[in-house]
Amino acid sequence: MRILSGIQPSGKLHIGNYFGMMRSMIDNMDKSDLFAFIVDLHALTSVHDRQRLATGTLEAATDFLALGLDPERCTFWVQSDVPEVTELAWILSTLTPMGLLERCHSYKDKIAKGVAASHGLFAYPVLMAADILIFQADKVPVGKDQKQHLEVARDIAIKFNNTFGETFVVPEPVIDDNLATIPGIDGQKMSKSYDNTIPLFSSQKELKKKVMTIVTDATPVEEPKDPDKCNLYNIYKLFAPADRLAEVHGLYVNGGAMYGKIKLELVDILWEFFREARERREALLADPGQVRDILHKGAVKARSKATETLDLVRDRVGLTY
Ligand code: ADP
Ligand code: TRP
């Protein structure tokens, strides 16, 4: 079974990215034919700063490797190193109904956040469909915010298959209900574009600053609180050991939960949780040539699969004479 997913290099990766997508990819390395990539062409819809995009791409790749992605046990590359995907995106766009894209929440949300309403941003889901279909992926692990994009990819695959004959695997999303939307420090969905993240890798000082600003209510310490409604608890529970979590749950329900104390504890837990990855990351950052090399080798592997699908597609649609 082929499992595939991508991540944008548009800012520092955060714990929402980790639980929504990266961890499930890493866990699937030995159980599937895993394809992981950094989607720099997608990031171009919001990043128009050459240095930021280039550095962000290498950093996102470094972070993924540091978290445990093993390039020997998967195919790992940068999207723009496989240009076949843009040709497929064009072909797919010619049979994508406008209405399908007009309904996409992500497009509307990004415009509301100030991202310029470019053609690329509107066509974003078509390129994403091409990413998935060109590799004939069966399953795509993503956070809940990407569910609609997966539906678009499925609709496009079905339409193509009906029009030109069975060509694409119709992919399925993999969304873990418990981790579908990790809240940010302000309680909204954690996202690079909302400036409400807890980054995976930062200095301990920066981490503390972020955690201490997690928004909590003003209920007095001794009063009972609903843990499920507490933003701090919802982040804390992702990392705390089961026995300690049960104790803290008790403090919420019976009264006595001190937000400040729990926050300080969370800083320590987070710092330990990512310690090994942080150390691996330091080593990789000292040797960017090694990361580039891994990505170039991955691109060669990915390109050979992409070319196979694109040749079939060109033939199916009549781009042959
Ligand atoms: P961001 O919203 O921070 O820009 P991306 O769009 O790059 O994140 O998302 C990369 C992956 O991480 C996607 O699969 C996305 O669904 C997942 N993801 C992002 N934020 C969250 C979150 N808060 N909770 C769960 N998954 C998330
Ligand atoms: N749109 C995805 C996101 O913002 C990133 C992405 C691009 C992707 N192409 C993909 C995810 C293909 C899964 C499969 O998170």
Quickly list DSSP for 3-25. EEEEE--SS--BHHHIIIIIHHH
Residues 172 and 241 in one domain: no
Cα 243 to middle of ligand 2, angstroms:
36
The residue whose CA is least distant from atom 11 of ligand 1 is 17
Report pLDDT digits (tens) over 18-53: 999 999 999 999 999 999 999 999 999 999 999 999
Q: Are residues 39 and 148 in the same domain?
A: yes
Same domain membership, residue 264 and residue 176: no
Q: Would 48 be classed as within a structural domain?
A: yes
Q: Please give the Cα distance from 57 to 8 (Å, whole number).
A: 8
Do 167 and 296 have their domain in common? yes
Distance of CA 225 from the midpoint of ligand 2 (Å): 37
Query: What tens digit of pLDDT does each residue of 81-120 get?
Result: 999 999 999 999 999 999 999 999 999 999 998 888 999 9
Tell me what the mean pLDDT of segment 2-27 comes to.
95
Q: Which bound ligand lies closest to the C-alpha atom of 150? A: 2
Give the lowest-confidence range in 102-106, 192-196, 211-215.
Answer: 192-196
Please report whether residue 194 resides in a domain: no
End-to-end distance of the chain based on CA atoms, in angstroms?
Answer: 35
Tell me the C-alpha distance between 250 and 288, whole Å. Answer: 47
Residue 162 and residue 29 share a domain: yes
Residue 190 lies in a domain: no
Residues 173 and 221 in one domain: no
User: Does the pLDDT value for residue 208 go beyond 90?
Assistant: yes
- Token digits for 52? 């930021």
Distance (angstroms) between ligand 2 centre and the Cα of 143 equals 10
**Residue 280 in domain:** no
Both 23 and 116 in one domain: the answer is yes
Ligand found nearest the CA of 143: 1
Mean pLDDT across the chain: 96
Residues written for the chain: 321
Other C-beta atoms within 10 Å of 24: how many?
20
Does residue 188 sit within a domain? Answer: no
Mean pLDDT of the region 190-214: 94
Q: How far apart, in whole angstroms, are the C-alpha atoms of residue 95 and residue 217? A: 49
Does any domain span residue 36?
yes
Q: Is the CB of 189 under 6 A from ligand 1?
A: yes
Same domain for 84 and 51? yes
Could you tell me the distance, in angstroms and rounded to a whole number, from the CA of residue 150 to the centre of ligand 1? 14
| Stated pTM of the model | 0.95
CATH number, domain of 12, equals 3.40.50.620
Distance set, CA 315 to CA 83, 92, 145 (Å): 18, 14, 34
In a domain, 136, yes or no: yes
Say if residues 199 and 210 touch (Cβ distance below 8 Å). yes
Q: Rounded CA gap, 56 and 62, in Å? A: 10
**Are residue 242 and residue 303 in the same domain, yes or no?**
no
Q: What are phi and psi of 197, to 5 degrees?
A: -95, 160
- Residue ID of nearest Cα to ligand 1 atom 26: 20
d(CA 46, CA 206) in angstroms, rounded, equals 25
**How many domains would you assign to the chain?**
2
Pair 83, 38 in one domain: yes
Please tell me whether residues 35 and 140 are part of one structural domain. yes
- Read off the pLDDT of residues 129-185 as tens digits, 9 standing for 90 and up: 999 999 999 999 999 999 999 999 999 999 999 999 999 999 999 998 888 889 999
CATH, residue 215? 1.10.240.10
Strands 33-38, 2-7: parallel, antiparallel or unpaired by DSSP?
parallel
**CB of 28 sitting under 6 A from ligand 1:** no
Q: Do 224 and 94 fall within a single domain?
A: no
Reported as a single tens digit per residue, the pLDDT across 217-241 is: 988 989 999 999 999 999 999 999 9
Residues acting as catalytic residues: 110, 189, 192
Q: Is 21 in the pocket of ligand 1 (CB under 6 A)?
A: yes
Domain assignment of residue 230, yes or no: yes
Mutate to test the pocket of ligand 1, among 191, 197, 235 (most ligand atoms within 8 A of CB): 191
Domain extent for 172: 2-182+287-317
Q: Please give the structure tokens belonging to residue 311.
A: 């040749």
